[in-house]
Structure formats: C-alpha cells, structure tokens
A and B are shown apart, each in its own frame.
Chain A
Amino acid sequence: MSKQTTDIRDIEMLRNKVETLLTKHGNDIRKKATKMLNRSGTDISRLSSEDIQKLLFEFQCYQIELELQNEQLNRTHQELIASRDEYEQLYNLSPAGYLTLNKEGLIQKVNVAATHLLGNSKKNLIGKKLGEFILPLDQDNYNFFIKGFLTTQTDQTLILKLNSINNTSPHLNCQGFGLCSCSLQNCNHNNTSIYVECRGIANYNNKNELQICLTINDITERKQAQETILCLNEKLEEKILKQTSELIESNLNLKKKIEELKYSKHQLREREAKLNSIFNASIEGIITINTSGNIVSVNAAVETIFGYTQEELIGCSIKKLMPLSLRNKTQHNLKDYLQAYMLKNIGLIKEFEGMRKDGSSVPLDLSIAEFSIDKTNYFTGIVRDVSLRKHREQQDKEHLDELAHVTRLGLMGEMASGIAHEVNQPLTSIANYTQACLNFIRSENPDLEQISEILLKTHQQALRAGQIIHRMRDFVKSKKIHRTTANINTLIHNAISLCIAEFKPNNIKLKFELTKNLPTVYVDNIQIEQVIINLVKNSIDALKTLPQQTQRQLAIQTNLINNNDIEIRVKDNGPGIDEAQQQKILTPFYTTKSDGMGMGLSISRSLVETHDGVLHFNSKAEKGTTFYFTLPAGRKSNGS
C-alpha cells in the first residue's frame, strides 16, 4: 500500500518538475528569440509601410504558424507526457526488472520488479552497487560482464544468482520437485537465492554519461526446470547409457549368435552337401519311408539295385520293392507289419529279399534307422545288394562241402579196418549160426524151435551188418548237403557205431553222458557225424600214446546251454595238447600225427560254423583235452 502511494507521489513530483522545466524552457526560448532578432540587424523603422505591412503580415503568419506549432508542441508534449506515464507505468509494472547503472556500477534507476528481485526497496537500492546483491560465486562473472559493457558497449547477456534473503518470490518452489526425484543437492530447492538472467546494453544518457541499462528476469523456475531437466537428462543419459551398454552387449550377443548361427548354418549346409554327396554316391540303396510305408526319398543306388527310377518310387508304397509272398502277407496290415518289423530290427543288419522291377528277387542286407521330424516318424532303410556275396558264399559252401567229402573219404580210409572188423563180427555170427542150424537139421531129431530161434538171431546179425555197411556208404557217398531235423544223441550213436572198433583194441573206455529230451537240431547229419568222428578219433589217437596200463577214458556229453544252443563235448584223459600246438591245431594242414593230413579239425570247425555253431577246445597237459562245439537248437538256420 505504502509502495503504491510513494509511486503516485513520485509521478506527481515528476510532472511538476516537467512543467516548471517547460515554462522555464518557454521563457528561455523568448529571450533567445529576441536576442536572435536583435542580432539579425533588421531595423523596422527603416522599412516602408508596405514592407512593414508585408512584414507584419508575415509576422502574423509566423505568429499563427508559431501558435500552431506551439499548439502542436503542446499536444506532442501532452502525448509525450502520456507516453512517458505509460512508459513509467510499464517500466514499473513490467515483470522484468529494469536497472540502470552508471559506469561505476551504482544503481541509478530501478523498477518495481527489480526491487522485488533484489529484495530491497528502491530507496535502499539507488546508489548502491549491484554487485552487493550478487552471490560471491558469480561476482567475477558479473565484473567481467560490466567491464565488457564499458569497453565494448555491446549487448551482453549473463546468468547469475542473486542473494535475496528477504525474497518472497513465489518462484522459490521448484516445480520439477514433485515430478522428478532429483536430489536436493543437485537442484538446491531450499536455497533462497534465485537465478536471474541479466541482459544489458550500454549507452549514453542525455547528459552524455555512459550508463548501463539492464533487464533482469527471474529464471529460477526455468533454471530449476532446466536443472531438473538436466538432472533428469543425466539420469536419462545414465539410463540410456546403461541401456545402451546393455543394448550393445545384447547386440554383441546377438551378433555373436548370428555369427554362430551363420557358422552352424554353414556347417549344416556343408554337412547337407556332404550327406547329399554320400547319399547319392553311396553304393548302398537308401530308402526313406513314412509310417504308412510310402516312399519319401531314394538315392541313386536304389535305381541300380532295383531298376526303378526315383520318380517311379517316390510316393509309392514300399510294397513295390517287396517280394510277392510278403506283398500278399501285408496286404491289409502293412503299417502294423512295418511297426513290428522295425521294432524288432532297428539297429541290426538283417538279410532281406527284395524284388527288382523285372520281377527277379535280389538278396539284400537291410539295416534300419528311425527318425522323426515335426512329430512325424520316418524309417530309413539302407540296403546292400548282396547277390555277389551270396553267390560267393554259395561257392565257398560248395567248396567246403566238397572238401568235407574228400576228408570224409580219407577218414573212412583210416577207419576201414575198424569198420571191417565191425562188419565181420555179425558176419561171423551169421556163418556160425547157419552152420549150427545145418548141423541141427542133419541130426536125427532136429529141434525146430531151437533152429528157428537161431535163424532169428542170424537175421538180426545180418541186419546189424547191413546197418553198418549202410551207414558207411552214406558217410562216403553223400556229397549233397541235406539238412533235416535230428536228435543230436542219435547222431552221436551213429557216429560212434562207425568207430566203435577203435575203442576195444586200444583199451579205451567209452562213456556216454548224454542229456535226454534235448531239443532237435536242424543239420546235415553226415557232416555233424563227421565232426563227431573226427573229434572222437583225435581223442583215440591221443589216448593211444598213453602207457598200456593207464585207464584210458573218453566221454561224450550233450547239454543244453543258454536255452537255445546244444553243446557237444568230447572229452579224453589223454596227454593234452601243448601250448604251441594249441595255437595251430585248428589251421588247415597242421598235424601232429605222422600219417595225418591236418584237415580234420579245420574241416570240423568250418562244418560247425556253417551250421551257425562254434568249435572250441580246452586242454591241460597230463590231464586231457576237451573239444566242444555248439549247434543252435530247434530252428532252421538262415541259409535254408
């Protein structure tokens, strides 16, 4: 309130001063004019009336003109005063502070806003140094600023902080405070000082003195907002930096991953190419089918093996490659058949018969793998055409059979005298019986019952002789392999019947330890008998080297082992085989006998192996030797 009254008074005072100044000024002008007129030297008395009249008219014109000018001047003066008032008003009411400093930096003039900003009354401000109100921190800047005016007299701007302890400015509260979480330290919210922007211009006043006009604006809010923004920016920057580094890191990771992916993609490509080349270069046919048995892919070799082109096969049922018998079997349940077959044979190599395009059958080795893509299962079968191998195997087998036959002939030669003895026994009995009969018939009262009894015995002996001859003939004659279901114990007895004559003269005790009710075997009887005879004869030969008084024993055992193999053991208590010989006795043409060929054991082993069995032996010096071999029980072997 007091402030407003002082303002009005000030204005009043100012107007009075102006008016006095103006009257004074008018009087001064009158004097000056008279003086100037006097100096012009024009003497009115000397002038004619006409001239005077003329001059008067002119004077009157001038007067009117002057009056008009004066009027204009007055009006201008009034306007000026109004404008001045307006200016004064504006000056005082402006929200920006206006200050006028002299060249010493003393405050000459100050408006209301400036007093508010500086926190002092006009009275207290006029004649004071503005520097007093500036925080020590900005003093240097301020001094340079002022100095700058004095030297360059150009426009300058400075932002500084005012020390306004008594300030009641509403801008103290930082508006950003509530919005952001910037710290007090950064923003100085509690500080009573305010930021101002000083903008100034240096000029000369009407007294030709250098003065500095300054406008000061409160930019605390802006500054604080700026600081807040700065702070937020910093935070943001920090955040951005962090995120950027995170992004960079993840970017790096991504790049790395991309690299990896690229690499693995490359590898995949390489592998694919490799696999592709293998796939097509493979001499083994590769067929992929789905679970329904439809062919998904085939390689080039399939064409070679089966005669179908790839186009002819893809999409077709796998049945197309199966033999007719299997096609009929799987007419309705191919899927089930495949499932069962795969389950049983995955990971194994199985022999399989395929059918070519021309209808001929082709023996194959088949191995199967399963894989799934997108939950769909596929089977990949790799097939190898083994007809050549089969052919060779057949040839080998024929050679073996041939060889077995030849060695069998040799074996028979070795056993001939023994067999002759075996045949002679019943023949002798027959001769004796018949002669006895003749003698009885010739007697006076022939006992017919006795005679018929003797004849019966004769008959039996004849059969016995016939059997031995028959067996011997079979043993020698049989060249063709003929597998039948047989009882192994019967085969042993048959074999022994051909070499029984060897035991007695050599004082060898033969013991049968045969397991009853064994499963049957599917074998070529003659070949297996040959193996048994071979082993038995070897044992006999070994036993023969023992001193006469030693108890010579030979045992033949049969057993079921592992549930599906029958094992035949030929055991003697002979001198045993020494270590060095053990290494060689199974090789062809190696023999320890003076009259041996060295083929017996090697042939025996081959024969056992063609029957899917194995032949081994144990031997201990002074204790004896056991040869044993196995035969698969109760099943037909693969070959037949």
Chain B
Amino acid sequence: MEVNNPSALVYLVDDEFAIRDSLTLLIESTGRAVRSFESASDFLNNYNHDQPGCLILDVRMSSMSGLELQEELSKRGISIPIIFISGNADISDSAKAFRAGAVDFLEKPFDNEILLKRIEEAIQKDMEIRELLIKKRQIQKRLDHLTVREKEVLSLIVSSHSNKEAAAVLNISNRTIDVHRAHIMEKMQAANLAELMMMAMHCEIVQHGAEVVD
C-alpha cells in the first residue's frame, strides 16, 4: 500500500492488549509501521527522537495517564503529534488535550477512516515540523555569521525600517547602511528582501522588530 513518508512510525500507547493488537493490525494493514507500548513509561524509555511519526495515546491508563504523558513530553521538548483515544470521553479531558496541542481526541469505538486520516495528518504535521526545524537551524547558522552591527541593521530592516530611518536610528550614514545590507543579504543567502523577511520570521527576529514599530 502506498503511503507518504513511509519512514514515519506510528507509536501506540494503550494498556489494553486487544486495543493494542487490533490497532497495530489495522494500521499495519495500511502499510504503516507501528510500535506499541503498554504504558507511558515504557514509551518514554523507548522513544527515538530522530524517528518521525505520531503517537496514538489512550487517555485512561494506570500509573501514568495519557494526559500526564502529554505534559511530560512537552516538558522534555518532544513535539510528536498526539491523537488521543478514550473509552469514556470526558469534555474536560479533551479540552485539556487540545489546549496542549493534540491533533485529535477520538472516542472509542471510533471510525477507522478518521483515525487513519488523522494518523496521516499527524505524520504530515510531524514532517513539516521537522522540516521547519531543519530550516530554522540553517538560518540560525547563517545568522551566527553576522556581526553585531549587521544584526542590528537586519533587525531594523525586517521591522519595515527604510535605509534612511535605520541610519537615523543607528546614527550612521545611509552609505554605511547600504554596505551592511549588502553583507547581510550575502551572508544570509537571501535573493531579495522578501526572502530575508521569511528567514527573520522563522528565527523570531520579526517580533522584536514589530515591537519596535508599534
């Protein structure tokens, strides 16, 4: 069966064997690889951060519940997309899960199509997150090559300051601003201003600039 991102892995945590077994079979039947765990701690001990994928998580489990695991992952900076499944849906539980960034909260027994669709979406989301992360790291690397003055100029430019305004702020000549700007474009490997703006947004330099504008 054809799947996007075949390298992605579906993690499954549920303390009920029948659920684990049937879901594994179901997901595997769509061509996805599945790794199941019977407890949250089991999962935490075996999770590989480098492996893209998503997590199907049972809300009610003994020792550590699904929501508690979600919290723990967030604490550890693990941003794997989570699809919650629950035997007896509780509005407060689902609200809590969504607030913490859950992809979905499905009530047992759920529509398999929806689950599979959510799995795909989650994997897609994970892939995107991972791509974004790679991009961000590249930009960061480039940013690291800028001098202090260049960073100041960049910050002003992406905050919609004109050369003139920037020169006035930094109390330097327009000419000097031009030279810095050329260096920045080069170092950041930006083809035009728009591209530079995108990079700045990824690295959250824009916000700072926006604040200045306001």
Contacts and interface: CB of A to CB of B under 8 A. Distances in A.
18 contacts: A420-B88, A421-B88, A427-B108, A428-B19, A429-B19, A430-B109, A431-B112, A432-B112, A435-B26, A436-B25, A436-B29, A439-B1, A439-B26, A439-B29, A439-B30, A443-B1, A454-B22, A501-B88
A435 B18 contact: no
A432 B114 CA distance: 12
A105 interface: no
B61 interface: yes
Given A426-B18, A430-B109, A457-B18, A436 B26 contact: yes
Contact of A425 (B1, B18, B28, B107): B18
Contacts of A432: 19, 22-23, 25-26, 112
A436 B65 CA distance: 27
A30 interface: no
A514 B19 CA distance: 29
Interface string B69-87: 0000000000000000101
Given A429-B19, A433-B22, A424 B29 contact: no
Interface residues of A, number: 30
B22 A424 contact: no
A424 B62 contact: no
Contacts of A461: 18, 22
A507 B112 CA distance: 29
Given A439-B26, A507-B62, A457 B21 contact: yes
B85 to A, nearest CB: 8
B16 interface: yes
B60 interface: yes
Nearest to B29: A439
Nearest to B61: A504
A454 B88 contact: no
A418 interface: yes
Nearest to B16: A425
Nearest to A423: B87
A443 to B, nearest CB: 7
A440 interface: yes
Nearest to B116: A435
A505 interface: yes
Contacts of A78: none
Contacts of B60: 421, 504-505
Contacts of A422: 87
Nearest to B111: A431
Contact of B65 (A439, A505, A509): A505
B110 interface: yes
Contacts of A420: 87-88
Nearest to B106: A428
A430 B110 CA distance: 11
A417 interface: yes
**Which 9 pairs of residues, A with B, have the shortest CB-CB distance?**
A432-B22, A439-B29, A421-B87, A429-B18, A436-B25, A428-B108, A435-B112, A428-B109, A436-B26
B63 interface: yes
Contacts of A504: 15, 60-62
Contacts of B112: 431-432, 435
Nearest to A440: B29
A430 to B, nearest CB: 7
A425 B25 contact: no
Contacts of B21: 429, 457
A428 B15 contact: no
Contacts of B22: 428-433, 436, 454, 457, 461
A457 B18 CA distance: 8
Contacts of B23: 432
A507 B88 contact: no
A436 B26 CA distance: 4
A461 to B, nearest CB: 6
Contacts of A435: 26, 29, 112
Contact of A428 (B28, B63, B65, B110): B110
Given A430-B109, A431-B110, A424 B88 contact: yes
A427 B26 contact: no
Contacts of B30: 439
Interface string A495-513: 0000001011101010000
B87 A425 contact: yes
B10 to A, nearest CB: 13
Contacts of A436: 22, 25-26, 28-29
A431 B109 contact: yes
A181 B121 CA distance: 149
B22 to A, nearest CB: 3
Contacts of A443: 1, 29
A467 B21 CA distance: 21
A501 to B, nearest CB: 7
Interface in A400-444: 417-418, 420-422, 424-433, 435-436, 439-440, 443
A454 B25 contact: yes
Contacts of A457: 18, 21-22
A435 B22 CA distance: 9
A19 to B, nearest CB: 179
A126 B192 CA distance: 213
Nearest to A461: B18
Nearest to A416: B88
A431 B106 CA distance: 14
Given A427-B109, A428-B110, 17 more contacts: A422-B87, A425-B16, A425-B19, A425-B87, A427-B108, A429-B16, A429-B19, A431-B112, A432-B22, A432-B23, A432-B25, A433-B26, A435-B26, A436-B26, A439-B1, A454-B25, A504-B62
A586 to B, nearest CB: 32
B87 A501 contact: yes
Which interface residue of A418, A432, A436, A440 has the most chain B CB atoms within 10 A? A432
Contacts of A454: 22, 25
Contacts of A431: 22, 109-110, 112
A435 B61 CA distance: 25
A246 B112 CA distance: 122
Contacts of B85: 428
A622 B95 CA distance: 35
B113 to A, nearest CB: 8
A425 B88 contact: no
Contacts of A464: 18
A422 B29 CA distance: 26
Interface in B16-69: 16, 18-19, 21-23, 25-26, 28-30, 60-63, 65
A134 B60 CA distance: 150
A431 B25 CA distance: 11
B32 to A, nearest CB: 11
A424 B108 contact: yes
Which interface residue of B21, B26, B110 has the most chain A CB atoms within 10 A? B26
A504 B22 CA distance: 21
A94 to B, nearest CB: 153
A427 B22 CA distance: 11
Which interface residue of B23, B30, B87, B112 has the most chain A CB atoms within 10 A? B87
